[in-house]
Amino acid sequence: MTSSEATSPLARLGRILAAVSTLSLWLAGIGLVAMTAMVAWQVFCRYVLNDSPSWTEPGAVMLMSWFIFLGAAVGVRENYHLGFDVLLYALPKGGKKWLRMISDVVAFAFGIGMVWYGSELVGLTWNTVLPSLRISGGWDYVPLVAGGVLICLFALERIVLRLAGEPIDDVLDELPPAEVAAELDTANVKA
């Protein structure tokens, strides 16, 4: 890589988005661990303290929607969402590229919807109060908005890279089908 490439705005943006994606994945992982702790605490309190906290159930559910939307956005960047790839494998490279382009535009458009209508839902429910958690009901929809922002960013990155002629689709063709990658990572462990 030459120094001019390394400092090109596109490459710099790519590095920033890579960092955002890694950060999202780590936050999501921490969310999963925290969720485990929360439900375990619920069981512990019921049996040992004989006093169940009423916030663990809604709290764990809210953490779950955070880590799903963060993880789903990372999935757009890493392309691990489950899809029906048969036609893609049958098509020549040029055609494939355009079908993948459509899919990325679809994801981008849906991300816009998540941000727009998610914000509307936050507004609609902002004056309600969630029982037990005692925070605004609008928080239910904040992960939706945040996930939408990230999905837009990551889908847009793929669109821009493809338009700039980057070979992002060639890399995909050599990988196993997207949906398998996540589990294969688990399968390829020390035997």
Structure tokens at 19: 């960092």
- 136 forms beta bridges with 129
Decide if residue 40 touches another protein (CB under 8 A): yes
Rg of the chain over all Cα atoms, to the nearest angstrom: 20
114 is a site residue for another protein (CB under 8 A): yes
Nearer of residues 4 and 127 to another protein, judged by Cβ: 127
Q: Which stretch binds another protein (CB under 8 A): 5-13, 51-59, 161-169?
A: 51-59
Query: Segment near another protein (CB under 8 A), from 1-9, 10-18, 23-31, 159-167?
Result: 23-31
Residue type, 142: V
Residues 94-108 as b/e (b if ≥16 CB within 10 A, e otherwise) read eebeeebeebbeebb
| Cβ(104)–Cβ(77) below 8 Å | no
Cα gap 18→22, rounded to integer Å = 6
DSSP 140: G
Q: Which amino acid is at 38?
A: M
Interface with another protein in residues 137-176 (CB under 8 A):
137, 140-141, 143-144, 176
Q: Report, in Å, the least distance between residue 190 CB and another protein.
A: 8
In the structure encoding, which two tokens stand for residue 160, read together? Answer: 């821009």
Q: What one-character DSSP code corresponds to residue 136?
A: B
The answer to whether residues 55 and 84 touch, using CB atoms and an 8 Å cutoff, is no
Q: Does 88 bind another protein (CB under 8 A)?
A: yes
Shortest distance, position 5 Cβ to another protein, whole Å: 29
Return the residue of 6, 16, 81, 173 that touches another protein, per CB under 8 A.
Answer: 81
User: Which residue from 1, 48, 163, 191 is in contact with another protein, where contact means CB under 8 A?
Assistant: 191
> If binding is defined by CB under 8 A, does position 70 make contact with another protein?
yes
Give the one residue of 12, 29, 164, 167 binding another protein; rule: CB under 8 A. Answer: 29
**Binds another protein by CB under 8 A, chosen from 23, 99, 164, 171:** 99
Q: Does 3 bind another protein (CB under 8 A)?
A: no
